[in-house]
Amino acid sequence: MIFESDHRASEPTLVGSAILSGNQGQIFNILRDPTSWGQAETPRVVNAIEQSKIVFSFDGEQKAVSTVSAWNSNVTELELVMSGTVANQVGQAQIKYWNEVVSMLQKRLNGPPIVVASSPGKVNVYFAVGAFLKDGFHDVASCYQALNLREKVLVELTGNFSIDFAGPFEKESQLLVPKDRTNLVYRAGQELKELGSAMGSDKVSFLIHKSVPIAGGMAGGSADAAAALVALNSLFGSKLDEKLPEAAAKLGSDVPFSLMGGTAIGVGRGEVLSKVDDGPALHWVMTPNPAGLSTPQVYRQLDIMRINQGIDVSALEAPEVPEELLEAIASGDVAAIAKLMHNDLEIAAVAMLPELADTLRAGQKAGSVRSMVSGSGPTIAHLAKNAIHAEQIATRLKAAGYPSLVTYTSSSGTRLEN
């Protein structure tokens, strides 16, 4: 169970999650009875809510909140939030304790072994589009930042290929995301096979837990692909860790960054990456749009708009990310970041979907430091001053008819979760 700082909280807080092979009700009942855990220290149950949330207290000082949510009838996610930090002994002791509890749960559930990997969505703080290249792509310069919104991919060797969905965007995924061999998670297995894996995706069942808006310019599909690479590499015992970036680049321009995480500069098609300092976490509010936009069509629209202005799109200079922006990110200077944020694709996305201009104005009216189209859109990213400000912006946007997600930047790339 991997714990990280929870930047939603006003005081030092850790958050971690575990994906378990078992029924939600069964897991909740075990957690509600700490005396059955077999641990040296037994917390008191302060509150237990509808088979989903339990608040624990340790000697009236340390508290922990567990949330249990079902992916389906056989897979359950356990999230734990507790006060503390990984930097001190108390935090390390709590992490050790809860990992022992998770191990106990796994033994008592006695479910089949599963392999799960997760990968972050992203926001483009800066995105410049240069020349249209002969291979049909564009020369770009991007500053990517990973978000704590993570796609999770469970892989299981079942003898048949299948894809199913869970999570906050399950319904949209069932309608909009392909469940055949065109999905990037299937292609991830085939790329591993090309690199020497004994198996591909033909006999694997994928369960994708969707937390990133669909077709929203936040690289949810690329995150799925990166997570599938790591999960399948583990499932197959392929030992191709060092070759995964090579496979990622073949799957799409954003997949290598999904694998890397943190903050990075991307050039070429966006896949040639240089990691840079993260700095303090930035807080964002993301407003999805159900319409969706095709990334190639947004690029095409930008080319048309430039050509109409008399610009030779094949002769543009190679774009660069301003050094001043990287310095502002490293120092956490939100005001400076807001001034330097930029996205060449924004005008094209708004031209294709004019209602995005209303969402941008709504973000400004809600108090965002800066609002901008995320990547190729149509999700709008609103930069906030801090966690509390982000919650305020999201509340105001929701009241104005724009349901939004609160998130923050993360240093984590793709990783195994179990």
Q: Which residues are catalytically annotated? A: 122, 254
Which of 235, 131, 137, 162 shows the shortest CA–CA distance to 193?
Answer: 235
Q: What is the CA radius of gyration of the chain?
A: 22
**Beta pairing partners, 20:** 76
Amino acid at the residue 298: V
**Beta pairing partners, 122:** 146
Tokens at 173, concatenated: 């995924």
**Positive or negative torsion for Cα 295, 170, 77, 392:** positive
- 270 and 253 in contact (C-beta within 8 Å)? yes
Distance separating alpha carbons of residues 213 and 208, to the nearest angstrom: 13
Residue 79 CB-half CA count within 13 A: 11
Tokens at 402, concatenated: 């724009």
Distance separating alpha carbons of residues 42 and 64, to the nearest angstrom: 12
Q: Identify the residue whose tokens are 């020497």.
A: 196
Contacts 24+ apart (CB under 8 A), 391-398: 392/366, 392/367, 393/285, 393/363, 393/366, 393/367, 393/368, 394/285, 396/365, 396/366, 396/367, 397/285, 397/287, 397/362, 397/363, 397/366
By CB atoms closer than 10 A (0-12, 13-18, 19+), residue 74 is middle
Tokens at 359, concatenated: 């969402």
Tokens at 403, concatenated: 């349901």
Which of 252, 284, 279, 122 shows the shortest CA–CA distance to 182?
Answer: 252
**DSSP symbol at 282:** P
